Amino acid sequence: MLRRSYLLAPAFAAAVAALAAAPAHGAGFGIFEQGTKAMGMAGAFTAQADDPSAMFHNAAGIAFQQGEVALGFTYIRSLEASLEGADPFPGAGYSAEQETLSEFPPHAYWVQPMGGTWTFGLGVFTPFGLTTEWEDPNEFRGRFLSSRASLTAVDVNPTLGWRVTPSFGLGFGAVGRFSTVELRRNIPQFNPFTQTIADIGTVELEGDFDNEGFGWNAGLLHKVNNSFSWGLSYRSEIDVDYEGDAEVTQNLTGTPFDALVRSRIPFGTTLPVETGIDFPAMASLGLAFALSPHTLLETDVNWTGWSSFQEVDIVFPGGQLPSTHLTQDYDDVYNYRLGLRFGDEPTGQWRLGAVYDETPQPEEAVSPLLPDSDRIGFTLGYGRDGRRVSYDLALMYLEFDERTRDVNFPDEEASTFFGTYQQEAVLFGLTLGF
């Protein structure tokens, strides 16, 4: 007898959990590279914030800036993203590869002095996102968890900078986050006619950019003297509620099981689905030391409040499928950044940097949806400020620690998918200023 467990959330829940499953290049699913000058110093920029990307790194920085428009992107490409399976499933000796990641998160900024001590800025950037996609999706043994998952989050960030004194500034901003998701996975079910697990369908979910949430940011920048400055920055948690459409397509097995399945699952029907993501708050402390008139060293400590991402609830308002609760149990984490710059921007400025970034993801949550791990990165950058146009270039290499999963959450024993993941990536940034 076919039971309604056929429709149970594990078949759909893990799929919708992929809303958050986008392996980006800040830990978790964050993207810290929102300005190429800062990227060249591995993001150690809170105590400088001297270009328009200050709206992301430290809003107070725009209080000291002149009018400028900056446009750019970060090209993110994976060099390796692989899985070596383990027993009991998918099994020792099994291996799989992700499709090569190739994404271009953009950023755009406008800074305009308002007269006196106030400056207005508007930033548009992508602080969360990217994509996981596995090769040979119909053969991939993790296809019942995810074969493709994509998340994009775009922030619109109007900001005010206030130069309280010639050396002390504050910044305040509002943040509107607009987000969309896409995912694909297959659905398993025991076939009583063949006594095997059948791949009975594919579920695809798509959402629009009308899913939004709102928050705020603030910053402080103190240029103590010509040799030392420090800054603080905070970006609030933002909760986004998603409404999307899910559609299930049947995969025929060629047995009487097909008719039985078709009577139980609404194939070919668009199903409304709702869920939410609690995007984390972020805070940064930066200290910058001028080693000479043309050489500066900065060190930053960044905190990300990933403990806001504890669970994902999936709801089908029409009742065609049962709702589900998924545990994530992320932890708050820190990353540590060190950057060095030397030279004058009018004649050419070189930058170097290094970052150590902790993962917030517990071992129990590591899966084909998002196999995250601690990582270390190294950067090289160059910039030049011309009469009418400035440009900044940066290159980053990221190496992820090998990450193994061989435990489950106590209430999710059925989700066993054990193995070891290895990843490497390279990023290239370009920003033009006018």
Q: Which residues of 264-285 are buried (b: 16+ CB within 10 A; e: fewer)?
A: ebeeeeebebbbbbbbbbbbbe
Tell me the sheet residues that pair with 314: 324
Q: Which of 228, 371, 365 is nearest to 288 (CA)?
A: 228
Query: pLDDT per residue over 173-226, tens digit each?
Result: 999 999 988 888 898 888 888 888 889 988 888 776 678 999 999 999 999 999
Query: pLDDT per residue over 77-101, tens digit each?
Result: 999 999 999 999 999 999 999 999 8
Rounded to two decimals, what is the model's pTM? 0.89
Is 260 in a helix, a strand, or coil?
helix
User: If residue 184 lies in a helix (H) or strand (E), which one and from where to where?
Assistant: strand 168-191
Give the HSE-up count for residue 157: Cα atoms under 13 Å, Cβ half-sphere: 34
End-to-end CA distance of the chain: give it in Å, rounded: 69
Q: Which of 330, 362, 369, 377 is nearest to 83 (CA)?
A: 369
Mention the CATH class of domain 4-433: mainly beta
d(CA 305, CA 309): 9
Span 349-371, mean pLDDT?
A: 93
Report the relative pairing of strands 282-292 and 324-327 from DSSP bridges.
unpaired
How would you write 33-69 as a 3-class SS string? CCCHHHHHCCCCCCCCCCCCCHHHHCHHHHHHCCCEE
Percent of the chain past pLDDT 90, that is, above it, reads 62
Query: pLDDT per residue over 326-356, tens digit each?
Result: 778 899 999 999 999 999 888 899 999 999 9
Confidence class for position 387, pLDDT limits 50, 70, 90? confident
d(CA 230, CA 46): 7
Confidence class for position 267, pLDDT limits 50, 70, 90? confident
Q: Is 191 left (phi over 0), alpha (psi -120 to 50) or beta?
A: beta
When mean pLDDT is compared over 72-76, 143-147, 341-345, the highest value belongs to 72-76
Confidence class for position 129, pLDDT limits 50, 70, 90? confident
Q: What residue segments make up the domains of the chain, in order of their start?
A: 4-433
Is 19 in a helix, a strand, or coil?
helix
